[in-house]
Structure 1
Amino acid sequence: MNEIGLDSAGEGTAGRREAVLDVVLALLVEKGAAALTMTAVARRASCSKETLYKWFGDREGLLTETVRWQASKVRAGAYDRQHLDAGALRESLEGFAANWLTVISSETSVALNRIAIGQAETLGGIVLANGRFAIGERLKPLLLDARAAGLVAFDDAEEAFRTFFGLAGRDVQIRRLLGDRFAIDAAADARRAVDQFLALYGATKTPAMAG
């Protein structure tokens, strides 16, 4: 049991909130959405339900923060926008793709997405807004800075992102959701995706050619 002593001194810190979210992820993987109640989370986290309601509002708020916490693990990578060159762009894109592949193929992401599919009316929007859409907004600034630096050419950042997203993810997520536990090489898949993306959108391509 993952006991984190949330009712001890220091209650309310970011680290303790994140520990609760990790408990939620563990419960989703182990027992599914039906077992995810405020009582179950409080028991596993060794805290009071009052603490959970104070921090997250209700079960939907708790799930929303859990999705955000899982999505925050996908990062675009650090780069100096004033000195962005081809090498730095490739490194950032590969880092993003490898990181994203690792996250979406994890048991926790699979559990979250299965819940969202099964409860699309209430949870689908939460997962989209805090997962896919938030991640897109995290990477687009890199693409726009790369365009400004003359490294890539495209007319629409969303369309460019969707292309990269598809090249990186391929059928990984759907196969994971359907129970296929095939092995992935995130680093190798990320390099391939970046090669293909730059072949489409590299500075030698015009936006019309990329489209």
Structure 2
Amino acid sequence: MLTDLNINDEQELTARQQAVLDAVLGLLVEEGDALTMTAVARRASCSKETLYKWFGDRDGLLTATVQWQASKVRAGNYDLQHLDAAALRDSLEGFGANWLQVISSSTSVALNRVAVSHAGSGKSSLGQIVLANGRFAIGERLKPLLEAGRAAGLLAFEDTEAAFRTFFGLVGRDVQIRLLLGDALTLGAAEIARDAARATQQFLSLFGTETSRPKARFV
């Protein structure tokens, strides 16, 4: 289990610890489920004792790696007290593009493949680790923006979780499952930005008020 690291805030990680977690991600891409503490220590040029001190054990290391990868998805900067339609749209688009970029990376695909494998075989709790520190943690980052939009009269919904899941689905579509199943899908920066803008417009068409609802639709 984790020791005293707060992986959800990269400011709490030293550059050395970040390098170790990046090494884990690289090894997952190359070796998948064959990841060992010895291999990580060798790749990161550190001792296994250091790994155990920082992360506790292999599950702790994987938990930290999931948190590190998920920490790259941000809801953007916005003023809760002075949120307007433009800032809401920009923040939603930024979150969507950020999330698509992360989940379409080879490291996220490799990590999720290992998690799915573990969840199906009962090998470990990695599936739950990915859910708790990936999808659920990311949701908790975006929900305050959605609730701020509702408080400002820009969004209208009853259930925050349901609204988040709708946005999540509009952004992700079938991208993640196609990548997990080996589809050679390549998303460039321009395509990611376009998809995030389209998802935001669709979301605002569903949940926006007269103040924020888009006047035109994507085709």
Do both share a fold (TM > 0.5)?
Answer: yes
Moved over 2 A (4+): none
Is structure 2 residue 193 aligned with structure 1 residue 187? yes
Compare 196-205 and 91-100 and name the one that shifted more: 196-205
Is structure 2 residue 135 aligned with structure 1 residue 135? no
Residue matched to 1:29: 29
Compare 131-140 and 13-22 and name the one that shifted more: 13-22
- Give the deviation of 1:204 after TM superposition: 3.8
* Structure-to-structure mapping, 1:151-170, within 5 angstroms: 151-170=154-173
Q: Where in structure 1 are there 5+ consecutive unaligned residues?
A: 1-11, 206-211
Cα separation, partners in 2 of 1:18 and 1:143, compared to 1, 3 Å: same
Secondary structure, counterpart of 2:76 in structure 1: coil
Rounded to whole Å, the distance in 2 between the matches of 1:183 and 1:13 is: 31
* Structure-to-structure mapping, 1:1-211, within 5 angstroms: 14-34=14-34, 36-120=35-119, 121=122, 122-184=125-187, 185-204=191-210
Rounded to whole Å, the distance in 1 between the matches of 2:135 and 2:44 is: 28
Tell me how large the CA RMSD over aligned residues is: 1.3
Rounded to whole Å, the distance in 2 between the matches of 1:13 and 1:161 is: 29
Rounded to whole Å, the distance in 2 between the matches of 1:15 and 1:146 is: 36
Secondary structure, counterpart of 1:68 in structure 2: helix
Rounded to whole Å, the distance in 2 between the matches of 1:110 and 1:89 is: 29
Q: Which residue identity lines up with residue 201 of structure 1 in the other structure?
A: F
1:114-166 CA distances to partner (integer Å, 9 max, x unpaired)?
00100013211000000000000000000000000000000000000000000
Given the two structures, how large is their TM-score scaled by the length of structure 2? 0.86
Identical pairs, percent: 74
Cα separation, partners in 2 of 1:66 and 1:90, compared to 1, 3 Å: same
Q: Where in structure 2 are there 5+ consecutive unaligned residues?
A: 1-11, 212-219
Rounded to whole Å, the distance in 2 between the matches of 1:153 and 1:173 is: 28
Compare 14-23 and 54-63 and name the one that shifted more: 14-23
Rounded to whole Å, the distance in 2 between the matches of 1:110 and 1:48 is: 27
Matched residue count: 193
- Give the deviation of 1:93 after TM superposition: 0.2
Rounded to whole Å, the distance in 1 between the matches of 2:13 and 2:59 is: 21
Given the two structures, how large is their TM-score scaled by the length of structure 1? 0.89
Secondary structure, counterpart of 1:183 in structure 2: coil
